[in-house]
Amino acid sequence: MIEPSGRRERKKAATRQKIADTALRLFLERGYDDVGIRDVAAEADVAVTTLFSHFAAKEALVFERDQGFERGLVRAVADRVPGEPLIPALRQEIHAMVRHCTAPEAAPVRSLIVSSPALRDYEESMRLRHADALAIAIAAELGVPETSTACRTIARFVIDAFALACEAAEPGDAVDEVFRMIEAAWDASRLA
Amino acid sequence: MIEPSGRRERKKAATRQKIADTALRLFLERGYDDVGIRDVAAEADVAVTTLFSHFAAKEALVFERDQGFERGLVRAVADRVPGEPLIPALRQEIHAMVRHCTAPEAAPVRSLIVSSPALRDYEESMRLRHADALAIAIAAELGVPETSTACRTIARFVIDAFALACEAAEPGDAVDEVFRMIEAAWDASRLA
DNA sequence: TCCAAAACCCTAACGGTTAGTGTTACGGTC
DNA sequence: GACCGTAACACTAACCGTTAGGGTTTTGGA
């Protein structure tokens, strides 16, 4: 009775994708605030309730791909080659994420996000969740309690690096600059 | 034609205060989500539109006093005694802010905020604004461009210290712990 | 073949927020 | 002391995101 194999899954994924694609297209054409949920649903040919069964909020329509970011961060901590130090592994992962977000083909979506306070706030709240997940992963890796202030601090700093680098003129250099500071902070903590 | 002195100002302030007091009382009595804007307006005996002319959003009704935080941070940078190093000055200010937020009499409001995702998100977006303001103040103090990555990084780290300490079991100790890391990060930056 | 669940649809509403349009009360001016 | 501009407030009516309630179709498996 489990394992909903095949067609059902594919159809559901297709519906979800169609909604996301339609939404992004309309947002880019007419602006985020000038496209209503009812517009998106109509254009994607689904009911409004169906749209909300796939996406928790209007803002989520824009951040379809960012689900992998959190997983990537946690993996960068948990699955790194034995003996590899933590911070450089995270630096590498943040580099990849920043490259992804600042790639030329991502520019229209970027400016869409920047132009809407609602989207900016939503993105920041996503980052907070990422930081919490990362803190838990780091704590698990080091064998300290999840509530360890030092772990949570490092996790936040790493997410800050991501956020700041995405807005910097030279994103790659910014990642390195912030990570020099994070490395020092790490050495000054009791975790190193 | 300027200088609206006297009665008008007082009446406006009184209205604002009455709205905020009423709102907080109702929220604490019945829960944030179970009190509507129309309830608050009716109980405070003002029109809904009047309420929104004083407060930008429902969430802002809960964060009436936090306007001073940003000012305090900027002042901690700009008005510190000559020769006093930057980071300890900020540490002191954050200590004061954390004490303020974790004081026993602030507990009901704290738990109100924690219990509502909307309020938590709003608080975090306020902190982002504080970080931006602080970054600008630091940049001005050091005579570097506002967009300096190092300045923005330190500002974010300081705000992180505040957020983490407010949630920690021992807030005061947490501030000191995070600031040891910030101090190291500061020394590793090109600003020190 | 038939069933249970998943996916979907429709309608109607709720609650925060805003636009449009007055009305009052205050402050400064002649 | 009468007068005018404007800030503060009120009322109505809506917009928009979101959800509840309740039904229909599609799918996978027994």
- Residue of chain A whose alpha carbon sits nearest to that of B120: A125
Superfamily (CATH H level) for A67-188: Tetracycline Repressor, domain 2 (1.10.357.10)
Phi and psi (nearest 5°) for B143? Answer: 70, 35
Task: Answer whether residue B2 shows pLDDT above 80.
Answer: no
pLDDT value at residue A89: 97
Residues found in chain B? 192
Provide the CA A43 to C1' C9 distance, Å, integer. 15
Residue with tokens 């026993």: B104
pLDDT value at residue A6: 73
Phi and psi (nearest 5°) for B147? Answer: -85, 5
pLDDT tens digit sequence for B104-122: 999 999 999 999 999 999 9
Average confidence (pLDDT) over A17-34: 97
Q: CA dihedral defined by B148, A65, A75, A87, rounded to 10 degrees?
A: 0
pLDDT value at residue B1: 44
Contact residues on chain A for B155, CB-CB shorter than 8 A: none
Cβ-based neighbours of A89, under 8 Å, separated by 6 or more: A76, A77, A80
pLDDT tens digit sequence for B121-148: 999 999 999 999 999 999 999 999 999 9
CB-based contact B181 A185, cutoff 8 Å: yes
Average confidence (pLDDT) over B144-159: 97
Q: Interior CA angle at A121 toward A118 and A122, to 5°?
A: 85
What does the DSSP 8-state code read for residue A155?
A: H
Task: Yes or no: say if B17 and B42 are a contact pair by the CB < 8 Å rule.
Answer: no
Amino acid at B191: L
Nearest-Cα distance to chain B for A156, in Å, is 7
Alpha carbons A140 and A123: distance in angstroms, whole number: 26
Q: What is the mean pLDDT of chain B?
A: 94
Alpha carbons A59 and A112: distance in angstroms, whole number: 11
**Percentage of chain A lying above the pLDDT 70 cut:** 97
pLDDT value at residue B3: 52
Provide the CA A117 to C1' D17 distance, Å, integer. 16
DSSP string, B80-132: SPTT--HHHHHHHHHHHHHHHHHSGGGHHHHHHHHH-HHHHHHHHHHHHHHHH
Tell me which of A181, A182, A183, A189 to substitute to probe the interface with B (most B C-beta atoms closer than 10 Å): A181
Task: Answer whether residue A166 shows pLDDT above 70.
Answer: yes
Of A121, A177, A184, the CB nearest to B150: A177
Average confidence (pLDDT) over B36-59: 96
Alpha carbons A138 and A149: distance in angstroms, whole number: 11
Ramachandran assignment for A168, one of left (phi > 0), alpha (psi -120 to 50 degrees), beta (any other):
beta
pLDDT value at residue A1: 45
Nearest one of A121, A159, A157 to B125, comparing CA atoms:
A121
Task: Answer whether residue A2 shows pLDDT above 70.
Answer: no
Greater pLDDT, B192 or A39: A39
The CATH class of the B7-56 domain is mainly alpha
Contact residues on chain B for A147, CB-CB shorter than 8 A: 168-169
pLDDT value at residue B86: 96
Nearest one of A123, A138, A130, A125 to A70, comparing CA atoms:
A130
- Residue of chain A whose alpha carbon sits nearest to that of B161: A153
* Domain-wise residue ranges, chain B: 7-56, 67-188
Residue with tokens 């979506």: A109
